[in-house]
Structure 1
Amino acid sequence: MANLVIASNTKAMKKLDKTIKDKVWSFIEKLSADDTAAGLHIEPLNGAVDPRVRTGRVDLNFRAILFKIDDKLGDDPTYIYMGTWPHDEANKLAERSRLRVNPINGVLEGIIGELDGEDDRKKRTVVPDPRGELDRRIREEPKPYLGERFSLADLTERLGLDAELAQRALAASSEDVLVDIAANAVGWQGSALLDLATGLHIDTIREKHGFTDTPADDDLDEDEKILKALEQPASKMQFTFVEDDDELRRIIEGGDFAAWRTFLHPEQRKYVEQDFNGPFRLSGGAGTGKTVVAIHRARRLAKANPDARIVLTTYNRTLAADLKSALKTLDPDVVLAERLGEPGVYVSGIDALGNAVLNRPGDMGDAGENVLGYRGVERTHNRTNSDKVWRDVAQTVGSGLDPKLATPGFLENEYVAVVLANRTTTLEQYAKVPRPGRGVRLSRPQRIAVWKIVEAFRRQERVDGSLSFPEVLALAAEHLRLQAEPGDGYLADHVLVDEAQDLHASHWALLRALVADGRNDLFIAEDSHQRIYGQPVVLSRFGIKIVGRARRLTLNYRTTAQNLHFAVSILSGADYRDLEEGEESTEEYRSARLGPNPRLVECTSPADELDKVADLVKAWIADGVDKSTIAVLTRGQNDRSQFVRALGERDVDARALDNNPAASGHVQVLTMHRSKGMEFSRVILAGVDSTHVPSGATLRSVPEEEQAEAMLRERSLLYVAASRARDELVVTWSGKRSELLGQAS
C-alpha cells in the first residue's frame, strides 16, 4: 500500500483527453494498492535536482511525475502525484523538478522544471511564461503599482514569494497588470498577489493563508518536514490527501485536478473546520464560495459525529436540490436524513422545513393561540394565495386605509415582519408593537385600519381552510419554542443556512427554534448585495447574536475580473446593510480569473434584439461551446417565453428553465430571479432597458416610503444576473438603456 497525495494547479500540464484520464486512474489505483508493481515502472532519474522525484508509466507515450517521501518509521511511503506529460517531456521536466518547504511560511511547494535550460536561472515553469504582452506592458508603463508600499524584501522575506515573481509584481504598473501576473501564478502565490492588489496588509495575508511563524523542527529530517508541511492550510491549496478510491476517481474525472470539492482556499478551509461558540455569519460576494464552505462544513460535522442531526437549508426547494446534489458529489457516502430530527444531514428548502415541523405529531393548540389567536389550527396542506386574499379583503373591508398602503405587497410585508414576528393576535398588541426597519410610519388610526384588514385576512383563511407559508413557519417556530421550554429538546444539533439574506422574520424564528444556542449551532452564509426578496432583517431581533463571529470572503472563483468589475459597478453608490446592520462593501472583491470585457449591445428595436441574441448564441455554439452552458436571462416570465419562441424560430434549440432542472443539449432561457445560485459559461442579459430594468410594475406596487428599498432589490437582481457568467457576458437592450447600467461601456 502507498499513501497518495494529489497536486492541483499544475498549470504546465496540458488537459488530458478521456482515454489518457482513464489510464491515469488505472495507474494511480495500482500505485495506491502496491507501489512495487512491475507494470508501474516507478523509476528515479539520474542527475535529478531532487532525489525524491520519480516518473511512472501511464502508457507507452505518457509518464506521470511523482515525488516519493519515505516514512522514517518504516510505514508506507507517500507519493505526491504532480501530473502526467508525454514521455520525453515528462522525463526532462522531472529532472529539473523539486519539492521544498518554503522557509518563510512553511508551505509545501511542488516546482515542475525548476531550472531554465537556456540561461540556467531559477524559474517556476509551472507558471506559463507570460512574457510578451505582459512584459511589454510592464516596460512601457514603468510606474510601479506596489513599489510605493512594498519592497522586494517585504514580498520575499515576509510573504515568501519567489524572488522573480516578486520582482515582476513590484514592476507591475497597475492593478490590472498585477492581476495578470497573479492569474498565472500557482497556488498560494497567486492568491497572495491578488490580496496585495486589493491593498491588504502583509500580516493580514499571512493570517488569511494560515502561514506559520515557527520554523520547521530541526530534529525532523527533510521527508518529515515535507509531511509536516502538508498540514499547512496554504499547502492544501495545491495538495490533498486522497482518502479512498472513490474520492480519487472523482478527482481524476473532474478533468483539471482542482475540483472545488477537494481543494479549498486556506480561508475557506478555516471556516469549514473551525468550531464556533454560537452563531457564525459568513458573508461574501457572488462566486466567493460561501455555498462551497457550507457544503464542506455540513460534511465535516457529519463525519465528526455520525449521530449529529444536521439541517442544511436555503431559500427555496430548487436551491435545496442543488445543495443536496453538490453534497452527494462531494461525498457519496454522506448520510442524508430522510426525516427531520434523524441523524445525518437533512437538506430542505426552508418552507418545506416548516411543513416538516408542522406535520410532526403533537398538539398545535398553544402555538395556534399564540400566533393566530385561536387554538383550532388545522394541519392543512392548502396554502393561501396571499396576493389575491390581501387584495380582496383590502377592497371589501371598510378600513379607511390609504389606498397607497392597501396593497398586497405592503400588507404582506407588514404581516410577516411585524404581526407574525411578534406573535401579535389583538389590536391592543398591534397598536403598541415596535416596527423597526419598516419604511412607512403608521399613525394609530392607520394601525387600526391595517388591523381590520389583518383580521379579515385571517377570517378568510379559516373559511378557506388554508394557511400562508409565513404562517406555517411562524406556527412551526412557536411549536418548537414551546417544546423546548420544558426541556423536551430540539430537533437539530447544527443548522447551516445558505442564501440567508433572502429570509424573512418567520424563517429566522424557525431557524432559531430548531437548535439550542451553543457550540456550532447556526452557520449563516449571506450576501446582502444579493438580497432580491422581502425586507431586510436584523438577526439580533430573533435571538441570534453573532457578537464578533462574522467574517467575509472576497476572492471570486466563478467570474472573471472583467465581469466582476462590471457586476460590482451596478451596485455603485447604493447603501447596503448586512444582517447585523453593518455597512456592506465591495472594496476588497477581486477575481482569480481573467477574460474578455463584457459587451454592451444596443439594438434598434425589439425584433433587432431578438436577431442579435440569436446570432450571438449561434456564434458561441459554432465555436464549440456546450449549449447547456449558454443562458439568456430576462427580467420577467413573459420576456422569457418570448425569447424561447424567438430562438426556436431562428433555429436555436432553447428551453425555458423554471422549477425544472437544467436540461442538457439546450440553451437555457430563464428569469433573473431563477438564475440565483446558478452559473453558466456564457450569459446574455436581455431586455436591460429602462422599461424592464428596473421593473416599473414592481416599483409602482410599493409605497413611496419603500421605493428606495425596492430599487435596491432591483439593483441587486441585475447584480445577481451579471455575476452568473463564468467566461463571457453580453448585455442587450432596445430603446433607452437601463439607468442601472450606469456609465458602463
Structure 2
Amino acid sequence: MAESTVILTKRGRNADPSIRKLEMAFLDKLTADDALPGLHIEPINNSADPRARTGRVNDNFRAVLFRLDQNGSPVYIYYGAYPHDEGTALAQRMTLTINPLNGIPEIRETEPRLSATPEPRRETKPTGDQVRVLGHTSNELTALGIDPDLAEAAAEATTEDGLLDAAAQHPEWQGMVLLDLLTGIPLEEIAERLKAGAEATADEEDEDTRIIEAVRRSPDTQATFTYIENNDELRQAIEAGDFGAWRIWLHPAQRRLVAADYKGPYRLAGGAGTGKTVVLVHRARRLWRADESRRVLLTTFTTNLADGIAEQLSLLDPGVPITDQPGQPGICVVGIDALAARVLKQAGAAIAEDVATVLGQARAEIARRTSQQAWRDAIDSAGSELPDELRRPEFFAAEYGAVILPNRLTEERAYLRVRRPGRGVRLGKLQRQAVWRVVSAYRMNARMDGALDFVEAAMIAAAHVERTGPLFDHVLVDEAQDLGPAHLMLVRALAAEGPNDVFLAEDAHQRIYGARLVLSHYGLQVRGRSSRLKLNYRTTAQNLRLAQQILEGGDWVDGDEGVEEHGGYRSARRGPEPELAESASLTAELDRAAEVVKAWLAEDAKPETIAILVRDQQVRDRVATALGERGVKVRAVERERVPAGTPVVMTMHRAKGTEFSRVLLFGISEASIPKAQRAYEFDPEAHAEAILRERALLYVAATRARDALAVSWSGQASSLLPQPSH
C-alpha cells in the first residue's frame, strides 16, 4: 500500500457540483493507496511533463494530476476532473514548473520556462488623455517573475478591467500581485515578500521537494495551491467546491496581521469581502495555539454571525476547542448580547450589586427581556410634558443607550448635568426633567417585570466584569462598527489591558445598527495601531463597482474619527455585469423574480447558494409565498441557518455576514429603500444617520453576491441606486 498526499489547485478544479462526490471518492482512494486497480493512475504518452498523470473518476471523467515524489512517498497535485478525452489531452500538454525568479510553482499549457534574466523592454509614455492605471514599467514587473507578455500589457493598461482581463490567462499569483499593486502595496514590499518565499525553499535541491515546500510555506503559492493534511480537510474542500473551499486562505497582507503582536487594542478596517473575518479566525487560533490554557473570545453583533464564525473556525482547524461559555480555556465564539447574558447568569445573585451600579436599585430578578412596547408604555404613562417631537421610542432608545447608560446615571440631578456629545437634539432643564420622568417609569416597569433590555444587560455585565476581573486573555471583535457604547465598554472590561488584549475589525460602510462612535471614548485607544485591507475576495469587480456607487454621497467616519474612503478597493474576481430591471407593477416584478431564480437553477447553481434579499420581514414572507405560487420553491429564513437544497428569501439585515453565489435584491424602490424615516424627523442629524444606515444596508446586501447580482423594483427606483442606463 502506498499512501499519498494530495495538493488541490484552485483554478483547475471542476466546479460542476454533480461530480463532487465522484471526486471525493476518487481522492479518498488515492490518499489511501494510489496503486488501487480501480484508480488507473497512468502516465501520458508524449506528455509535455513526465509527471503528468490521469486517473479514472468514472467511465466518463478522467482526473488530471501531477505525481511528485517526497522522500519516496507520492504527492499528487490534483488539477481537476474532465470529460475523458478532454482530460487526456489536457494532461498531455500541461507542465508544472517553478518560476525561476521567485520560486512559485506554475501550471501551464506547454509554454517555455521564463528566463531568469528577462531581456529589457523598451518603455513608452502615455499619449493624450490616457493614464496607465498601474504606474510601473514592464521591466519592474518582469523582475518580480511576471510573464513578459503580461508585464507589457499591464504596464500599458489604461483601465483596470483591461489589466485584469490580461491577467486572466496567466498563473493565479501574477494576477494577485497586480491587484496588490492596484490597492497601493508598494512594489518594493511585494518584491521582498516574493524573495522571502523563494529563499524559504532555496536549500531544497530536488524540484519536487521545492514545489511541495512552496505549497506548504509560501503565501503567494497558497493563492493557487492548498496542501491537504487529512481526509477531513479533503472532504471539506471538495464538498464546499469553488464556492467555499478558499474561505480560509490568507493573503500575505492578512498573514502579517495574524502573526503580529500589538501593545494594546488594534483596529483592522476593510470593505465587505476583504477577509477581515478570516484574519480574526486565524488570529484567534494562533493566540490559542501559542498557549492552550489561554481564554480567547471571538464575538460579534449577532448570533447568526457568531455561528458563521464558529463554522469557519472549525473549517480551519477541527481540533480547536470551541465553547460559548466565558472564562473557559479555548476559543469562545458567541454573539455579544448572548455573551452578556451568560455573564449575568454565571454571576447569580451577586449581580444585584452591579444592577444597582447601573440602574440605581439592587435586584437579582433579571431573567426576562424588556418588551418592545416598553418605551411606548413609559411615554404614554409619564411623558405628558414632553414636546411632541420627543414622544418617540426611537429618541428614548438612542438617548438611553448613548448618554444615560454609558454614564451610569441613576438620578435626575446627574442627568441634568451630563454632557450629551453627538446628540443632535438640544435639551433644556425642563425637557431633561421630562425625559428623566419617562426613564424612571421605564425602569420601574422593568423592575416590576424582572426584565432588562439588551443594552442594560451589556452595561451590567461590563460593570460586573470591571468589579470581579477579566474573563478572557484576548478579545477579537468582528463587525465592531455595529456595537454600541455598552457593548464596547463590555469588550474593554473582558480582557486586561496589555499586549494583544483587543483586536477590532470594522467597516463603517456596513454600520447598519446604531450611531457612529469613537472607540477611544470607551477605553479602546487604537490611534497609531490600525490598518486597512483593500482587496475583495468575495464580490466580483462588476458587483463591487455597483456597491461602491451606492456608498457615494454618504459621510463615512471610522471608529478612529478618520474619514472612511470607499474608493481604492479592488476585487480579485471577475463576472457578469449586475442586472438592474424596472417592472411596471409588483406582480410583474414577482414574475421577473421567478424567471431569474428559475434561470439560475437551470445553470446548475446549488439552490442554497441563491438568495432573494428584501427590506423587511413582511416583504420576505410575501415574496416567498408569491414565488411558490409561480412554481419556485423557496424558504423564508429568519434566525435559523440557511438550509440546503432550496433558494432562500431573507431580510437584508439577516443576510449580514453571509455570502451567496447569486443574489436578487428585490423591491429596491424609493417607497421602501430608503425606508420611510418619519421616526427620525425630530432630529435632522438622526435623520441623516438613519439614511446613512439605509445606504449601508443596501451596500451590505449588494456585496453578498459572489457571482451574479440582479436588482429589481416596481415604481420609482430607490435614490440610493446608481441611475440605470437605457
Q: Deviations over 1:12-51 (max 9, x none)?
A: 87869236413531354136xxx78899888888998778
Please give the residue correspondences for 1:340-351 in structure 2 after superposition, counting only pairs within 5 Å.
Answer: 340-351=326-337
2:456 alignment partner in structure 1? 471
2:31 alignment partner in structure 1? 29
2:417 is aligned, of 420, 432, 446, to: 432
What amino acid sits opposite 2:643 in the alignment? A
**Alpha carbon RMSD of aligned pairs, Å?**
3.3
Q: Deviations over 1:152-208 (max 9, x none)?
A: 111111x3312122123234342211122234443321112223445654235457x
Judge which range, 568-577 or 437-446, deviates more.
437-446
2:231 alignment partner in structure 1? 245
Please give the residue correspondences for 1:477-626 in structure 2 after superposition, counting only pairs within 5 Å.
Answer: 477-484=462-469, 490-626=470-606
Deviation at 1:219, TM superposition (A): 6.3
> What SS does the aligned partner of 2:593 have?
helix
C-alpha contact 1:399 1:452 (8 A) present in aligned 2 = no
Please give the residue correspondences for 1:280-299 in structure 2 after superposition, counting only pairs within 5 Å.
Answer: 280-299=266-285
C-alpha contact 2:142 2:148 (8 A) present in aligned 1 = yes
Deviation at 1:452, TM superposition (A): 2.3
Deviation at 1:508, TM superposition (A): 0.9
1:262/1:715 CA distance change after superposition, 3 Å: closer
1:477/1:219 CA distance change after superposition, 3 Å: closer
What amino acid sits opposite 1:441 in the alignment? R
Judge which range, 441-450 or 451-460, deviates more.
441-450
1:155 is aligned, of 122, 134, 141, to: 141
> What SS does the aligned partner of 1:334 have?
coil
1:212 correspondence with 2:196: yes
1:131 alignment partner in structure 2? none
State the alpha-carbon separation in 2 of the partners of residues 214 and 680 from structure 1. 36
1:211/1:450 CA distance change after superposition, 3 Å: farther
1:279 correspondence with 2:265: yes
1:108 is aligned, of 99, 104, 108, to: 104
Q: Deviations over 1:380-417 (max 9, x none)?
A: 221112x4222222233256333212311111111111
State the alpha-carbon separation in 2 of the partners of residues 600 and 37 from structure 1. 53
State the alpha-carbon separation in 2 of the partners of residues 593 and 369 from structure 1. 54
> What SS does the aligned partner of 1:619 have?
helix
What amino acid sits opposite 1:366 in the alignment? E
| Alignment size in residue pairs | 705
C-alpha contact 1:55 1:91 (8 A) present in aligned 2 = no
2:709 alignment partner in structure 1? 729
What amino acid sits opposite 1:319 in the alignment? L
1:14/1:186 CA distance change after superposition, 3 Å: farther
Please give the residue correspondences for 1:621-632 in structure 2 after superposition, counting only pairs within 5 Å.
Answer: 621-632=601-612
1:26/1:724 CA distance change after superposition, 3 Å: closer
1:263 correspondence with 2:249: yes
1:676 correspondence with 2:676: no
Please give the residue correspondences for 1:166-181 in structure 2 after superposition, counting only pairs within 5 Å.
Answer: 166-181=151-166
1:444/1:154 CA distance change after superposition, 3 Å: farther
C-alpha contact 1:420 1:506 (8 A) present in aligned 2 = yes
What amino acid sits opposite 1:236 in the alignment? Q
1:221 alignment partner in structure 2? 205
> What SS does the aligned partner of 1:112 have?
strand
Judge which range, 527-536 or 735-744, deviates more.
735-744
State the alpha-carbon separation in 1 of the partners of residues 201 and 233 from structure 2. 32
What amino acid sits opposite 1:221 in the alignment? E
Q: Which runs of 5+ in 2 are unaligned?
A: 116-126
2:444 is aligned, of 449, 459, 471, to: 459
Q: Deviations over 1:625-681 (max 9, x none)?
A: 343332222212222222122222222222221112223333322222121112222
What amino acid sits opposite 1:556 in the alignment? N
1:2/1:264 CA distance change after superposition, 3 Å: farther
TM-score for the superposition, normalised by structure 2: 0.88
2:96 is aligned, of 85, 98, 104, to: 98
C-alpha contact 1:427 1:451 (8 A) present in aligned 2 = yes
Give the percent of matched residue pairs that are identical in Structure 1 and Structure 2. 42
C-alpha contact 2:97 2:105 (8 A) present in aligned 1 = yes
State the alpha-carbon separation in 1 of the partners of residues 11 and 311 from structure 2. 28
C-alpha contact 1:260 1:292 (8 A) present in aligned 2 = no
State the alpha-carbon separation in 1 of the partners of residues 134 and 593 from structure 2. 46
Deviation at 1:356, TM superposition (A): 0.4
C-alpha contact 1:630 1:683 (8 A) present in aligned 2 = yes
Please give the residue correspondences for 1:2-41 in structure 2 after superposition, counting only pairs within 5 Å.
Answer: 4=5, 6-11=7-12, 17-18=19-20, 20-30=22-32
What amino acid sits opposite 2:367 in the alignment? H
Deviation at 1:544, TM superposition (A): 1.2
2:306 alignment partner in structure 1? 320
Q: Deviations over 1:94-134 (max 9, x none)?
A: 6762331542xx3422233342xxxxx5599xxxxxxxxxx
1:130 alignment partner in structure 2? none
State the alpha-carbon separation in 2 of the partners of residues 331 and 711 from structure 1. 41
2:119 alignment partner in structure 1? none
State the alpha-carbon separation in 1 of the partners of residues 275 and 428 from structure 2. 45
Q: Deviations over 1:547-595 (max 9, x none)?
A: 3222222222222211111111010121111111111112111112222
> What SS does the aligned partner of 1:368 have?
helix
What amino acid sits opposite 1:583 in the alignment? V
Deviation at 1:299, TM superposition (A): 2.9
1:401 is aligned, of 380, 386, 395, to: 386
1:636 correspondence with 2:616: yes
State the alpha-carbon separation in 2 of the partners of residues 92 and 410 from structure 1. 66
C-alpha contact 1:102 1:109 (8 A) present in aligned 2 = no
Please give the residue correspondences for 1:344-363 in structure 2 after superposition, counting only pairs within 5 Å.
Answer: 344-361=330-347, 363=350
C-alpha contact 1:94 1:112 (8 A) present in aligned 2 = no
Deviation at 1:90, TM superposition (A): 5.4
1:83 alignment partner in structure 2? 79
1:162/1:427 CA distance change after superposition, 3 Å: same
Judge which range, 143-152 or 623-632, deviates more.
143-152
What amino acid sits opposite 1:528 in the alignment? A
What amino acid sits opposite 1:537 in the alignment? L
C-alpha contact 1:9 1:257 (8 A) present in aligned 2 = no
1:744/1:266 CA distance change after superposition, 3 Å: farther
State the alpha-carbon separation in 2 of the partners of residues 236 and 217 from structure 1. 14
State the alpha-carbon separation in 2 of the partners of residues 564 and 252 from structure 1. 27
1:58/1:84 CA distance change after superposition, 3 Å: farther
> What SS does the aligned partner of 2:438 have?
helix
What amino acid sits opposite 2:105 in the alignment? E
1:136 alignment partner in structure 2? none
1:23/1:473 CA distance change after superposition, 3 Å: closer
